[in-house]
Amino acid sequence: MFEFLLKILNFSKIWWIAIRPNTLWVSLCPIMVVTALCYNRLSVVNILLSLLGILSLQIGANLTNDYYDTINGADNADRVGPLRVMQAKLVSESAMRKAIMFVYTIAFFVGVHFGVYIHSFLFILMSVSICASYLYTGGSKPYAYYGLGDPMAFLFFGPIAVASAFYIQTYEISLFAIYIGIAIGCFSISLITANNWRDIEGDRRAGKKTLAVFFGPRFSRFEYIFFIFLPYIIFIHVLYLRDVSLGLSLLTLSCLGITWYSTLKEIWVFDRIELDHLKNLLKKTGKAFLIYSIYLSFILFRTK
């Protein structure tokens, strides 16, 4: 019995590593913000299905990335980032293919549900999203290998994610939801930039032409700073649009400012950047994303 439980724990741990929990804020945060944005007409079933759908898309992209980057040689014994389960031979190619099919099947049926019960366009959108998720690093011409990963992540995990989840709740297309989605999408780019900046040498050797490989580490530094700074400008504008009191505005901005400084302090001066700093940057960016989304959700929930 004990051995059986140990096997289950080891199995769960391996797949927990495979889905890359430090990056899942990309899926959780848009749904959190939408929940706050339309809390007074919230369908719990639909918001949970929206979360399941977007999580399936991201986990599918992560597993597909693990599979193809190992096959294509981008993930090898020399990689400097977190453990990749297929490259480490903890998961077989066959098991990974089955897992990829499983999570995309979940996403497909979530799309079917929304297509039948809300609007047929949502099924089309989910189908396109599944293709975009898979082709990020899957197939013969993965677009992440040609510098298109950043803008696609911005669109599908930013404005599209927030606006579609908002529509599922309210049956309305909202420009404000799209605007909020821009802030969320900027953090998605920041997470990808942190990942690609760290892996720049390994990706270059493997022929994976990310924006970091195309333009170099100096560009990655400025891209990261810009896309993690822009959401705070949007946050200030939201405070103005929602007519938030001066005291609450100063309190939230002070807390966010501390988080922002903590995230950026190790990379602010280009000459001081070391590989160890870049290894931690992805996790710090994910935490900053979560804190930002919590404060933004709080403001959206408190104001109308």
Average pLDDT over residues 8-35: 87
pTM attached to this predicted model: 0.89
What pLDDT is recorded for position 64? Answer: 94
The CA distance from 224 to 202, in Å, is: 19
- By mean pLDDT, which of 30-39, 205-214, 237-246 is the weakest? 205-214
Using pLDDT thresholds of 50, 70 and 90, give the confidence band for residue 270: very low
pLDDT digits (tens, 9 = 90+) for 229-257: 899 999 999 999 988 888 888 888 887 88
> 303 or 273, which is more confident?
303
Mean of all residue pLDDT scores within the chain: 87
Distance between CA 292 and CA 234 in Å, rounded?
11
pLDDT band at 271 (very low <50, low <70, confident <90, very high): very low
d(CA 146, CA 207): 10
Is residue 274 over pLDDT 80?
A: no
178 against 275, higher pLDDT: 178
Statement: residue 272 has pLDDT above 60: no
pLDDT band at 51 (very low <50, low <70, confident <90, very high): very high
Looking at residue 252, its amino acid is T
The predicted model gives 187-192 an average pLDDT of 92
Q: What pLDDT sits at residue 152?
A: 93
Structure tokens that stand for 53 in this block: 């759908």
Give percent above pLDDT 90 in the chain: 49
* 65-116 residue pLDDT tens: 989 888 877 666 666 667 788 887 888 889 999 999 999 999 999 999 999 9
- Look up tokens 């690093």; give the residue: 137
Condensed to tens digits (0 to 9), the pLDDT of residues 107-161 reads 999 999 999 999 999 999 999 999 999 999 888 888 988 889 899 999 999 999 9
